[in-house]
Structure 1
Amino acid sequence: MAHRWKNDLTRNDTTPEGLFFNRRKLLTGVAAGTIAAALPRGAFAAGEDLEPNSWEQITGYCNYYEFGTGKDDPAKYAHMLTTDPWTITIDGMVDNPGDYALSDVLSQMTLEERIYRFRCVEAWSMVVPWNGFELADLLTMAGVQDGAKYVAFETVYRPEEMPGTRFPVIEWPYVEGLRLDEAMHPLTIMATGVYDRPIANQNGAPIRLVVPWKYGFKSIKSVVRITLTHTQPPTTWKKANHREYGFYSNVNPNVDHPRWSQATERRIGDGFFAKRQPTLMFNGYESEVASLYEGMDLKANF
């Protein structure tokens, strides 16, 4: 399709699988609460000798409050979540509203369209080889109507399968949102796997949003509803603390979090005492996405 993003990242740019998955190890040198930013291309050499982590380590340290606030809670309880079959409801300002079976959606996406390697951010900086497809393709399938300006997302909410939802840690269900042009950008994908494996339940199975120029809390997990609307939708963390979490969540070294600076970041594997380096605007995707925010005050719209 004409809107395809031309990926210039290679397998050599990918964060080694052991470092990507072993959150316990990699976060020992990161201050609590710090959100790191962009990983430059080629930050990891192909010859690094890293022993792959076990499956227990890979899936043992996660943020997924629906299963508990402890980092190991999702690994303990996420097996309770039923992920097959899976249906996504698409509604609002679309020509073809309805319940879309994930299996049917995936059957319409080719393998070429489903491999991406992005610099990504959550509580670390890395390059991740996601398997997925462009969100734009799904929205086109649904038929976006004139006048739609935003895309709202909702995480599955099943208290009987998600013990964390028994506590009012945040408002359930978890919700997120994008502006329509952000959602239609070819860098925005719906991920269904990583390292050529299906996403584990505790990591957002069977399908999650990935927007690589935004911070990780914008990557909503286990999506069951997508709604097209003309008004800006609520987002979970903005509702929880609008002073700290704005709607846009763009990686911007010029906007400090109220409790820490976002001007520098530490690469995974460099160690706690390694020299920090400047955070890249839009997580290194400035040339691809800066035009989306032309004329906007990005300090006011953080």
Structure 2
Amino acid sequence: MLIRIPAPSAVRSSEITPESTYRNRRRFLADMGLGAVGLLAAGCSEAKDAPAPAIAGAAITVGKRSERAGGETVTPIETVSTYNNYYEFGTGKDDPARNAGTLKTRPWTVAISGECEAPGTIDLDALLKPHAIEERIYRHRCVEAWSIVVPWDGVPLADVLKRFKPTSKAKFVAFETLYDKAQMPEARWAGIELPYVEGLRIDEAMHPLAFLSVGMYGKTLPNQNGAPLRLTIPWKYGYKSIKSIVRIRFVEQMPPTTWNKLQPSEYGFYSNVNPDVQHPRWSQRSERRLGELFKRPTLMFNGYPEVAPLYAGMDLRQFS
């Protein structure tokens, strides 16, 4: 288990490498498909007094469903909702499920600004109202070499962004997550600069695969999975799929992103899943699907080759 120190500091390499997973029994069991839920049932002394994590919320009316993971087996919701990266609620994989209950997801507003003709601040329900909710089953690949398959419920990102009429100066889209110390008391130990920020090039954001998720498995998102609104960018490493979004900006210059600011030699702006570009401290050629024993080869763009034209002519090693 990660040791917390008295004051925030930059995340150490030992805290984010996959090897730490195997030094931690809880994380190892999660990789083997046994997860935090099983440990709670077994009466693990560390978590026995903690409230049970929220697995899912209210049912969502889904208008259309599509299979976009090649027919792969969907990862159980019990695993997806109890094995998370959300540093504002703790740096351990099972911390967010225990701690994110303090997050208040209603009312929720999103501010849209920058290089657009119709900026404004809009309530989340009004933001989504013109769009029918659809469900897409996507692969999701974490930079730490684990992966999941999830039915995400939401709307295409492009459908939302177009409503605010980005101008020709809008070359990138910047996103910002909620940062509230009262709701996120664990954030003081995060070791990263907050609020969490991310960004996409405008053509990436407008790609049909880019998705704004408000639910998963036909129900509203659990807090630990990014409620009430998160990005889902299936061809990029998981940290690009920013959670609990409160601000979107259309900008002319490439925006800063959290992990790139912290360790630019390890985390590029694009962060496309690419087995040929190794993390400086581990290989990205294989991954372990949570719930499976053996590793499988990592697919270029996480198995979504339709995004390749976005990067035509680019050196994908240099622009990683």
TM-score category by the smaller chain? Answer: 0.7 to 0.9
Q: Which residue of 2 aligns with 1:3?
A: none
CA–CA distance in structure 2, aligned partners of residues 82 and 229 of structure 1: 29
What is the deviation of 1:249? 0.5
Deviations 1:64-110 (A, max 9, x none): 11112122322222111111011000000011111011111221111
Q: Which residue of 1 aligns with 2:70?
A: 41
**TM-score, scaled relative to structure 1:** 0.80
SS at match of 1:266: strand
Say whether the 8 Å CA contact 1:133–1:190 is kept in structure 2: yes
Summarize the Cα distance change of 1:182–1:277 in structure 2 as closer, same or farther, 3 Å threshold: same
Summarize the Cα distance change of 1:95–1:206 in structure 2 as closer, same or farther, 3 Å threshold: same
Q: Which residue of 2 aligns with 1:281?
A: 300
What is the deviation of 1:116? 1.1
Match of 1:71 among 67, 78, 93: 93
Say whether the 8 Å CA contact 1:152–1:228 is kept in structure 2: yes
Say whether the 8 Å CA contact 1:24–1:61 is kept in structure 2: no
Matches within 5 A, 1:203-282: 203-271=225-293, 274=294, 276-282=295-301
**TM-score, scaled relative to structure 2:** 0.76
What is the deviation of 1:132? 0.6
CA–CA distance in structure 1, aligned partners of residues 28 and 154 of structure 2: 26
Match of 2:310 among 278, 282, 292: 292
- Equivalent residues, number: 259
Summarize the Cα distance change of 1:145–1:289 in structure 2 as closer, same or farther, 3 Å threshold: same
CA–CA distance in structure 2, aligned partners of residues 53 and 151 of structure 1: 30
What is the deviation of 1:241? 0.4
Q: Which moved more, 1:180-189 or 1:76-85?
A: 76-85
CA–CA distance in structure 1, aligned partners of residues 32 and 281 of structure 2: 19
Q: Which residue of 2 aligns with 1:116?
A: 136
Summarize the Cα distance change of 1:42–1:110 in structure 2 as closer, same or farther, 3 Å threshold: closer
Say whether the 8 Å CA contact 2:88–2:190 is kept in structure 1: no
Say whether the 8 Å CA contact 1:213–1:250 is kept in structure 2: yes
What is the deviation of 1:120? 1.7
CA–CA distance in structure 1, aligned partners of residues 80 and 136 of structure 2: 20
In the alignment, structure 2 segments of 5+ residues that lack a partner are: 1-25, 34-67
Q: Which residue of 1 aligns with 2:31?
A: 27
CA–CA distance in structure 2, aligned partners of residues 168 and 264 of structure 1: 28
Say whether the 8 Å CA contact 1:95–1:145 is kept in structure 2: yes
Say whether the 8 Å CA contact 1:131–1:195 is kept in structure 2: yes
CA–CA distance in structure 1, aligned partners of residues 141 and 269 of structure 2: 17
CA–CA distance in structure 2, aligned partners of residues 87 and 141 of structure 1: 16
Deviations 1:118-176 (A, max 9, x none): 12212533331100101101110111111210000000010111012223610011000
Q: Which residue of 1 aligns with 2:150?
A: 128
Match of 2:202 among 180, 183, 191: 180
- The amino acid of 1:183's aligned partner reads A
Say whether the 8 Å CA contact 2:31–2:288 is kept in structure 1: no
Summarize the Cα distance change of 1:267–1:165 in structure 2 as closer, same or farther, 3 Å threshold: closer
- The amino acid of 1:120's aligned partner reads H
Q: Tell me whether 1:84 sits opposite 2:132 in the alignment.
A: no
Say whether the 8 Å CA contact 1:89–1:226 is kept in structure 2: yes
What is the deviation of 1:235? 0.3
- The amino acid of 2:222's aligned partner reads A
- The amino acid of 2:137's aligned partner reads R
What is the deviation of 1:58? 5.9
Summarize the Cα distance change of 1:58–1:152 in structure 2 as closer, same or farther, 3 Å threshold: closer
What is the deviation of 1:24? 6.7
CA–CA distance in structure 1, aligned partners of residues 77 and 314 of structure 2: 43
What is the deviation of 1:25? 4.0
- The amino acid of 1:27's aligned partner reads D
Pairwise CA RMSD = 2.3
Match of 1:155 among 173, 177, 186: 177
Percent of residue pairs identical:
53
